Every structure is written in structure tokens, then in C-alpha cells.
Amino acid sequence: MGDLETLKKEAALRAVALVESGMRVGLGTGSTAKYAIEELGRRLAAGELRDIVGVATSEASEALAREVGVPVQPLDPRPLDLAIDGADEIDPDLNLIKGLGGALLREKLTEVQARRLVIIADHTKLVTRLGEKAPLPVEITRFGFLSTVERLRALVPGGRLRQPGAQPYVTDNGNYIYDAQLPAAFEPLELERQLKGTLGVVETGFFLGMADVAFVATPEGVREIRRG
Ligand SMILES: O=C[C@H](O)[C@H](O)[C@H](O)COP(=O)(O)O
């Protein structure tokens, strides 16, 4: 396992240690959340946990959860005790960019219902301002996407439709993603408001004021960052 993979797993184990029997747990998406789902499965199999219900934030996480023996139920209006997920960027106030793995809409729908959102990451995800390293993924409808991209370019000039091959990337919800390059200076809440008010935009990868704690693994150990 490469160094970063070891760190991601360390962060994931710290988060799963917070899970108690009987909890309803939001299952994140991505290469870090994968370790958390596997650890949940291991602890259930070992009898260290019981009666856990997972609510998955992507088809991939649902498939993994079933594979490792974590029971999964669809999202319903009941609160989740805890949600555990990775992030693409984490700023000093625990505001996040998420969605490079394309799961931002289901993640936000699920995690907004969590009593505690626990973020797990390696130290490369820490930034001093959002947009420093990663683009902001914006999920947009397929219908009229070229027009939506034009509107988004007028708002955030840098950016492009996510297109890994000949065809655009398609989310679990059948939508496309526009990856916006954020400017050096902007006000996240105001930009979120403008993006959400743009016709054709379904959701953005800004997770502002949602995370309660982050376990960030560094070569010197796991840092616990709490929202102030
Ligand atoms: O859509 C994907 C999610 O927001 C992930 O949580 C995020 O991309 C981080 O993924 P990873 O742990 O693979 O870096």
C-alpha cells in the first residue's frame, strides 16, 4: 500500500471508531470513504458492531457496502447518526470542496441529514482557501447543458465540462459535471448562492458549514480538526 493509501486508511479507522451499534450511518464515496466502508464491514463481521444501517451516497459505495456485509437502506427523512466521507479540499474553517468523484449531489442530500459529518482525508487535501488545488464540481442537467456551461462561464470564467473520453462524464443521477476553476478571491457563500441560482445547475460541490470534524492523516499522525 502506498504512503497516501496508508494515511487515508488511518483517517478512516479513526472515523469508524465513532460508530456505535444501532447507528444509521451515511456512507461516503471515493478512495478514502472506501476504507471506512470496509472497516465497518470488518467490525460487523467481527461482532464488534451490530444493527448498523448504511445509507450510501453512490451506486459504487452501495455495491461495496453490500459486498463487505454492511446492510444498506435508501435515504429517507429520518436523521442519520453519523456520516463519514472524504473531501477534495478542506479549508481551515472546515468548509469543503467535494465531488471530484462525481457523487456530490447524493453526498449533500445524505450528509445534510447527518447529526455529525465526519470528514476523512490525507494531508494533501488541506488548503488555505477553497479552489487552491481542485476545481469546484457543479452538477448540471444534461438537457441544455451547452447553454448552462455558457451561463457558468459567465459567472466563473475558468472551467469546463468534465469529459474523460469521447463523451461527457455522467453522474449516478444522469447529469453532467462542470468543473469550475475558482478565482483567487471570492466569497464562498455568495458564489454558492449565484451558482445555485443559475438555470440548469442542480447542485455544487461546496459543502459549507456542514462538516463537524475532520480526521486528516499526516506522516506525523492523524490531526483532528473541529469546526470552531
Ligand atoms: O464525489 C466524490 C466525493 O466527494 C469524494 O469524497 C471526494 O472526491 C474525495 O475522494 P477521495 O477520497 O478519493 O480523494
Amino acid at 219: P
pLDDT at 228: 74
Q: Is the CB of 117 under 6 A from ligand 1?
A: no
Q: pLDDT, tens digit, for every residue of 90-139? A: 999 999 999 999 999 999 999 999 999 999 999 999 999 999 999 999 99
CB atoms within 10 A of CB 21: 11
Q: Which of 67, 77, 62 has the alpha carbon at shortest distance from 45?
A: 67
At 137, give phi and psi (nearest 5°): -70, 135
Q: CA–CA separation, 43 vs 178, rounded Å?
A: 38
**What ipTM was estimated for this complex?**
0.97
- Which residue is associated with the grid cell 462525481? 102
Q: How far is the CA of 86 from the centre of ligand 1 (A)?
A: 5
Count of all residues that appear for the chain in the document = 228
Q: CATH 3.30.70.260 residue ranges in the chain?
A: 136-204
CATH number of 136-204: 3.30.70.260
Distance between Cα 103 and ligand 1 center (Å): 8
CA–CA dist 71, 150 (Å, integer): 42
Q: Distance between CA 133 and CA 90 in Å, rounded?
A: 11
Q: Is the CB of 103 under 6 A from ligand 1?
A: yes
Q: How far is the CA of 76 from the centre of ligand 1 (A)?
A: 23
- 75's grid cell: 435515504
Active site residues per annotation: 107
202-228 pLDDT per residue, tens: 999 999 999 999 999 999 999 999 987
Looking at residue 51, what is its pLDDT? 98
| Atom number of ligand 1 nearest to Cα 98 | 4
Per DSSP (E only), the strands in the chain are 24-27, 53-56, 82-85, 89-90, 96-97, 117-122, 136-140, 158-161, 176-181, 201-204, 206-207, 213-218, 221-226
* pTM for this model (two decimals): 0.97
Query: Is the shortest distance between the CB of 110 and ligand 1 below 6 Å?
Result: no
pLDDT in the model for residue 2 = 60
Question: What pLDDT, in 10s, does the model give residues 30-86?
Answer: 999 999 999 999 999 999 999 999 999 999 999 999 999 999 999 999 999 999 999
Residue extent(s) of CATH 3.40.50.1360 domains in the chain:
3-125+208-218
pLDDT digits (tens, 9 = 90+) for 143-189: 999 999 999 999 998 999 999 999 999 999 999 999 999 999 999 99
Average pLDDT over residues 8-12: 98
Handedness of CA 164, 170, 171, 176 (dihedral sign): positive
Provide mean pLDDT across the span 9-29: 98
Check whether domain 3-125+208-218 has CATH 3.40.50.880, yes or no = no
**Which of 61, 84, 88 best tests ligand 1's pocket when mutated (most atoms within 8 Å of CB)?**
88
Encode pLDDT of 22-46 as tens digits.
999 999 999 999 999 999 999 999 9
Q: Which amino acid is at 26?
A: G
Residue 1: its pLDDT value, please? 54
User: What residues are designated binding site?
Assistant: 29-32, 85-88, 98-101, 125
